[in-house]
Chains A and B, each alone.
Chain A
Amino acid sequence: MIELKSISKSFTGKHAVKNLNLTIPDGKIFGFLGPNGAGKSTTIKMMTGILPIDEGSITINGVDITDYPMEAKHLFGYVPDRSDIFLRLKGIEYLNFIADVFQVSIEERKEKIEYLTKSFGIYEALDDHIQTYSHGMRQKIVVSGVLLHDPDVWILDEPLSGLDPKSSHTLKEMMREHADRGKIVFFSTHVLEVVEQLCDEVAIINHGHVQFQGNMTEMKQQFQDDDNLERLFLELTENE
């Protein structure tokens, strides 16, 4: 379970996230929605220890990210919104580096690297510098890095952007399997079809507040006139 307790973050006086509360239960695929600039990436960066939290606290499976950063960071894998990874490394060197960080055993890394990169179709590119990868290939190598060490919690910031249909399908299946094993998949997206098709629960935020949290049926009940998610989303995030 991930718990965000009244967290706030401001950049030079402007609030990006304000007094945000969120509980993400185990065994669910949790969608995190909101317009551009709503504060999704900022929230995710605080969850992953990249940004210091101004106020409030975040615990991942009971471990506080601020107080026990090392322990907490062992629990999750994170796919950032931009794939600014170490471009001068080769794909295989990057995966090896990640595996070293998470102390993955040699047999496991051999097997996983082959399995993951083959399913994403980047196996043959492993010996090339990441700099020569396309946007989608970079995204895939990052995702492979996360799945390589098999973390309990997946935190993914727009993981499907740039992926081709086949890889997108593969990743969605993997997300489903992971949640079905009782683990957490938390991801942000702008694609409402994906949300409808994949998510067990969603939170919609705007201007750094949670506008709505609940599962799909609850959501539909609350807004009975809205027959589709798009209209619902537009209504919820309408600028006041």
Chain B
Amino acid sequence: MSNAWKLMKIMVKMQLSWAGKSSSEKVGYVIMAFALIPFGALILFSLNNLIGNLYNALEPTGNESVILALFFILMFVIFIVTSIGTVLSSFYFAEDVESFIALPFHPYQIVLGKSAVPFLSLYGLNALILLPVLLFYGLHSSAGLLYYLFAILLWAVTPVIPFVLLSIVLMFLMRFANISKNKDRTKIIVGMFGFIFAIGINVVIRLDSGGDGSGTADLIREQNGLLELVTGFFPTAYFSSIALTQPASVTGVLYLMLMLGLTIGFAILFLTVGQKIYFKGVLGLSGGTRGRFNESKVQKTIKRKPIIYSLWLKEMRIIFRTPAFFTQIVVQSLFFPVFLLVILFMESNTSLASLGSLLTQLEGKKLVLGLFGFTLLSVGMTPASFSSISRDGKSWFNHLHLPIAPQTVLRSKIITAFTLNLLTIAILSFAALFLVQVSFKIWLIWLLLALVTNWVTSIGGLIIDLYSPKLDWTDEREVFKGRFIGLAMLAIEATVFGTLILILWNVSAVNGIWVTAAVLLTFLIILAAACHAGLKRLSDKRYYSIH
């Protein structure tokens, strides 16, 4: 056991240590933490209100337990979804897996050590969401001391079962379903899972919304009736909720005991399964494919290209061939347009289809600003841009000793982010012209706005990444995980573009479609030029000193 403890400490230290982080990064974290305080306070405030209102509405029929159940279910789902990525990368895809296997440890010890970081992140979420919920519920129900004691115990054990369930499923999959034979393919499947899940749920809800809710009314009439309906698939949420709503009764104590016992049982199961099958899933993991050698095919690929094109091609190849990049960049940026397409197709016979003619009735300025807002939603967040430098990781230095001008390298990265967004723009154009039948004029204005915005955000993201890149990753996911870079970009964009929209909205001199569009475009072009200048200055200073 002490071996497992040592392993856990090492893993946590390696992942969370401040060492190797630049001072600008540290400052960034601190600023971010402070910036999040008001945001967090707002969320807590609304959470408190929500629980209070729900409690008052449900308490008369004795159904208040469902509030807790809903949050326990929510936590269960959150834990499962967030663990998929962290468990897979920690257990199977991290580069250090093979080196640990060579050391004289039991499989269960390595599994425990490898669980430390994913598990800690679950407790972070747990502390952020469930802890305040339990507290607020206690306050609203004016609960006694016993409730809080139960609440703390249950809070502590909540992450264990979903984590163990998911880990066991993954270990079995990796061991028996043979998906681990191709590491890259597994990563893509797992990466797409979240998106398919989201779109699937959306479709199901839309198909389902035709039904009526008469059954629910009956259920509300009996005590805990709602609870039983809601927790049908989540027995642990049921046990926890009952234990918390009746802490002083025998039932309450029994259910608490049951939860504690179950947790211990699951922990033991986890270690047993880990001991038995973990290694077998890891061994034989391999990345990439090797095909048969075809001489003439290879000879044909020998071509001479301009350097900027060659660099761009390299970027695109790396993005499309690296699962983590493919899912985070390509799939992610297609998510919004595809989602929109699905909705449009499903609602093709309703009001949405006439959106096109509706748009023309809007006042010119509002229309253009609305279009601009929509543009920001669709191409504003470009993971391809704010991962530009970090994607290269340890291979970044290759750009430094080769005779390629920094401006050329950076330009190729901007163009990469730009081209990837073109796909989104193309899909949306298709939807606008053929599904919603937007007029050609409006589409043209939107296209111009989208192209220039795309340019601005592509440079903007690159600047942010160049300012604080992460090159020392061992698993590609780290380029996106645990960095606030996406959030930083969102904050900056919200500030800059939000101000811009506000100003244009309120300046009465700017009016009509063409004038507004022209003013907006001018602003964006000036912004793009400013970004270019800023990038030049930053790269003069930082390009050769990032490592």
Contact = CB atoms under 8 A, between A and B. Distances in A.
A80 B397 contact: yes
A17 interface: no
B284 to A, nearest CB: 14
B401 A78 contact: yes
A141 B210 CA distance: 62
Interface string B285-301: 01111110110011101
Contacts of A100: 304-307, 310
A132 B287 CA distance: 7
A88 B321 contact: yes
B400 A127 contact: no
Contact of B302 (A73, A86, A92, A131): A92
Contact of A126 (B298, B305, B311, B397): B298
Contacts of A214: none
A97 interface: yes
Given A93-B301, A97-B310, A101-B403, A129 B398 contact: no
Interface string A25-64: 0000000000000000000000011111000000000000
Nearest to A155: B401
B317 interface: yes
A69 B405 CA distance: 9
B394 interface: yes
Nearest to B318: A88
Given A50-B401, A73-B403, A88-B317, A128 B288 contact: yes
B367 to A, nearest CB: 44
A85 interface: yes
A52 B286 CA distance: 37
Contacts of A132: 286-290
A126 B295 CA distance: 9
A127 B298 contact: yes
Most chain B CB within a 10 A radius of its CB, from A74, A87, A132:
A87
A128 B297 CA distance: 12
Contacts of B311: 97
A197 interface: no
A163 interface: no
Contacts of B301: 92-93, 96
A84 B397 contact: yes
Nearest to B319: A88
B318 A92 contact: no
A80 B402 CA distance: 12
Interface in B383-416: 393-395, 397-398, 400-405
A106 interface: yes
Nearest to A99: B304
Interface string A111-135: 0010000000000111111011000
Given A96-B303, A101-B310, A87 B395 contact: yes
Interface in B133-155: none
A70 B403 contact: yes
A102 interface: yes
A102 B395 contact: no
Given A88-B321, A96-B302, A110-B302, A73 B394 contact: no
- Residue of B287, B317, B401 most packed against chain A (CB within 10 A): B401
B305 A127 contact: no
A97 B322 CA distance: 19
A89 interface: yes
Contacts of A82: 394
A109 interface: yes
B395 A86 contact: yes
Contacts of A73: 401-403
B544 interface: yes
A22 to B, nearest CB: 18
A86 B401 contact: no
Given A93-B317, A106-B302, A110-B299, A127 B401 contact: no
B314 interface: yes
Residue with the highest number of chain A CB atoms closer than 10 Å, among B318, B393, B403, B545? B403
A105 interface: yes
A48 B545 contact: no
Contacts of A87: 395
Nearest to A131: B288
Given A125-B290, A131-B288, 7 more contacts: A50-B544, A70-B403, A73-B402, A82-B394, A84-B394, A86-B398, A127-B298
Interface of A: 48-52, 69-71, 73-74, 78, 80, 82, 84-89, 92-93, 96-106, 109-110, 113, 124-129, 131-132
16 contacts: A49-B401, A49-B544, A70-B403, A82-B394, A88-B321, A89-B317, A96-B310, A97-B311, A99-B304, A100-B310, A101-B402, A104-B304, A124-B293, A126-B298, A129-B290, A132-B289
